[in-house]
Structure 1
Amino acid sequence: MKKLKVLLVSEYFPPKTFGGGEISAYHLAKSLAEEGVSVFVLTSYFKGLKRFGEKDGIKILRTLKTGNNPNSITENLKRKLYFQKSLKKDIFKIDNKENFDVIHFLNTTSIPSFKIKKKTIATINGYTNFCPKRNLFYKEREVCSGCNFPKFLGCIVNSENVGKIKISSYLRFNPLFWLLLYFNYLKKNKTLKHIDKFISISDFITKQLEKNGVKRKNIEKIYNIQNIKESGEKFDIKEKGVIVTYIGALEKLKGVDILIKAFNKIHGDAKLLIFGEGSQIEYLESIANKNVRFYGSIDYSYIPSIYTQSDIIVQPALWPEPFSRIMLEATYFGKPIIATDNGGNSEGVIDEKNGFLINNEEQLKQKLEKLIKHKTLREKMALESKRLFKEKFSKKVILSKYKKILNY
Structure 2
Amino acid sequence: MKIAIISNLYPPYYLGGYEILCAQVCEELSKRGLEIVVLTSQHGTEQECIENQGFQIHRKLELYIPFTQAAKLMRRQRLRTSKHNYSTTKKFLNTEKPDIVFVWSQLRLTLGSARAAQDLKIPVVYTFNDYHISGYSPSVFSLKLRPLVRFFLDNILFRQITLHGLDLRYTTCISHTVKDTLIKKHVPIQNSRIINQGIPIERFPQKKRQNINLKPKLLYVGQLHEYKGVHTIIAALAILKNLNLELSIVGDGPQDYKDRLRNEAKNLDVKFLGKIPHEKIPEIYRNHDIFIFPSIWPEPYGLTHIEAMASGTIVISTNDGGHGEFLEHHENSYIFAKDNPGDLADKITEVIDNPKLTTKIISNARKIVEEKLTIHAYTTQLHDFLHACQTKR
TM-score scaled by length of structure 2: 0.81
Cα distance in 2, alignment partners of residues 372 and 187 from structure 1: 56
- 1:74 and 1:213 mapped to 2: Cα distance? 20
**Alpha-carbon offset, residue 402 of structure 1:** 1.6
1:356: how far off? 2.3
In the alignment, the residues of structure 1 paired with residue 309 and residue 232 of structure 2 have an alpha-carbon distance, to the nearest angstrom, of 23
Provide the residue aligned with 2:210 in structure 1.
none
Question: In the alignment, residue 272 of structure 1 is paired with which amino acid?
Answer: L
The alpha carbon displacement at 1:187 in A equals 7.2
Q: CA deviation at 1:383?
A: 0.8
Given that 2:154 and 2:162 are in contact with CA atoms closer than 8 Å, whether structure 1 keeps it comes out as: no
Query: Equivalent of 2:246, from 238, 263, 271?
Result: 271
Q: CA deviation at 1:63?
A: 1.3
- TM-superposed CA distance for 1:263, in Å, is 2.0
Which residue does 1:105 correspond to in 2? 103
Please give the alpha-carbon distance, in whole angstroms, between the structure 2 residues aligned to 1:376 and 1:192.
Answer: 56
Report the counterpart of residue 383 of structure 1 in structure 2: 363
Structure 2 contact 168–189 (Cα < 8 Å) conserved: no
> What residue identity is the alignment partner of 2:168?
I
**Whole-angstrom distance in 1 between the partners of 2:217 and 2:334:** 17
Residue among 230, 246, 249 paired with 2:223? 249
Whole-Å Cα distance in 2 between the matches of residues 119 and 340 of structure 1?
38
**Structure 2 gap segments, 5+ residues each:** 206-212, 389-393
Describe the SS at the equivalent of 1:12: coil
How many Å separate the matches in 1 of 2:301 and 2:293? 11
The code of the aligned residue for 1:99 comes to K
1:130–1:208 Cα contact (<8 Å) kept: no
User: Residue type of the partner of 2:29?
Assistant: L
Match of 1:166 in 2: none
Sort the Cα spacing of 1:378 and 1:192 in 2 relative to 1 into closer, same or farther, 3 A.
farther
- 1:314/1:338 contact within 8 Å kept: yes
Shift in Å at residue 105 of structure 1? 0.6
Aligned twin of 2:33: 36
Of residues 79-88 and 270-279 in structure 1, the stretch that sits farther from structure 2 once superposed is 79-88
Which letter maps to 1:87? N
User: 2:193 is paired with a residue of what secondary structure?
Assistant: strand
Q: Secondary structure at the match of 2:268?
A: coil
Q: Does 1:406 align with 2:389?
A: no
Instruction: Give the Cα–Cα distance (whole angstroms) in 2 for the partners of residues 272 and 192 of structure 1.
Output: 49
Aligned partner (choices 105, 111, 128) of residue 124 of structure 1:
128
Aligned to 2:208: none
| 8 Å CA contact retained: 1:253, 1:317 | yes
Q: Distance in 2 between matches of 1:348 and 1:188?
A: 35
User: Deviation string for 1:100-141 (max 9, x for gaps)?
Assistant: 111111014357353432211111122223368x9xxxxxxx
The alignment partner of 1:104 has SS state of strand
Report deviation, 1:365: 1.8
Cα shift readout 1:124-165 (whole Å, capped 9, x = no counterpart):
122223368x9xxxxxxxxxxxx9688x99xxxxxxxxxxxx
- Work out whether residues 204 and 310 of structure 2, in 8 Å CA contact, stay in contact via their aligned partners in 1: no
CA separation of 1:317 and 1:196: change in aligned 2, threshold 3 A: same
Correspondent of 1:204 among 156, 177, 200: 177
- Measured after TM superposition, the shift of residue 193 of structure 1 is 3.7
Partner of 1:138: none
Shift in alpha-carbon separation, 1:44–1:79, aligned structure 2, 3 A? farther
Amino acid corresponding to residue 261 of structure 2 in structure 1: L
Aligned to 1:374: 354
Structure 1 unaligned regions, length at least 5: 135-146, 154-174, 232-238
Contact 2:312 2:366 in 1 (8 A): yes
Paired-residue identity, %: 23
Contact 2:230–2:295 (Cα < 8 Å) also in 1 = yes
The answer as to whether partners of 1:7 and 1:41 remain within 8 angstroms in 2 is yes
Q: Shift in Å at residue 320 of structure 1?
A: 1.4
Tell me if structure 1 keeps the 8 A contact 2:63–2:110. no
Q: Structure 1 residues 336 and 50, CA, compared in 2 at 3 Å: closer, same or farther? A: same
Pairing 1:3-402 to 2, within 5 Å after superposition: 4-46=1-43, 47=45, 51-56=49-54, 58-67=55-64, 69-73=66-70, 77=74, 80-109=78-107, 112=111, 114=115, 115-116=118-119, 117-130=121-134, 183=154, 190=163, 193-211=166-184, 212=186, 214=188, 216=190, 218-227=191-200, 229-230=203-204, 241-266=215-240, 267-278=242-253, 279=255, 280-288=257-265, 289-360=267-338, 361=340, 362-402=342-382
Please, which moves more after superposition, 103-112 or 198-207? Answer: 103-112
The answer to whether the Cα contact below 8 Å between 2:7 and 2:105 also exists between their aligned partners in 1 is: yes
The size of the alignment, in residue pairs, is 359
Do the aligned partners of residues 31 and 76 (structure 1) sit closer, same or farther apart at CA in structure 2, a change above 3 Å counting? farther
Greater relative contact order (Cα 8 A, min sep 6): structure 1 or 2?
2
1:112 counterpart letter in structure 2: L
CA distance in 2, matches of 1:215, 1:275: 35
Tell me by how many angstroms 1:371 deviates: 0.9
The alignment's C-alpha RMSD in Å is 3.3
Which is further off, 189-198 or 338-347? Answer: 189-198
> Residues of 2 paired with 1:13 and 1:201: CA distance?
19
Per the TM alignment, residue 41 of structure 1 is displaced from its structure 2 partner at its CA by 0.4
Report what 1:167 is aligned to: none
CA distance in 2, matches of 1:81, 1:189: 10
